Amino acid sequence: FETWSDASRDMLEKVQANRVLVLNVYRSISREQVEQYLYKMLDPLLRMFVERENIPVQEEDKQFIIYFYKYALVGMVLEWIRKDMKTDPVLLTQRLNKLLHGGIRRTLLKFQAGGGTVALPKD
């Protein structure tokens, strides 16, 4: 993907294309499976966009940044699913893009400037 908007829109459209399945799984005991699926989709996408910035930051800090954005975005998507995916994925992507535009770069620069390494939980 060239832009974060393209990647997030694609992800939301895939989720919405499988709306019945996703809602059934989400509303069942297996809600955690939806979360894990979203985490697995987002982690490599976020890593790609973090690496694309080409800002030298310690690996532990990069992973911390990826975790932050991953959990924030999955939370937003889960809320969207909980509300029956009524918001158009394009509109949701535009709103998320307003929050994220330049955010990853600014965060990486803060960590590059000595923001300090943070211990991460083990997966």
Alpha carbons 113 and 117: distance in angstroms, whole number: 11
Global pTM reads 0.75
- What is the helix (H) or strand (E) element at residue 96, kind and residue range? helix 89-100
List pLDDT tens digits, range 40-62. Answer: 988 998 999 899 999 999 999 99
What tens digit of pLDDT does each residue of 64-101 get? 999 999 999 999 989 998 899 899 998 998 998 888 88
Instruction: State the CB neighbour count (10 A cutoff) for residue 85.
Output: 18
Return the DSSP state at 28.
S
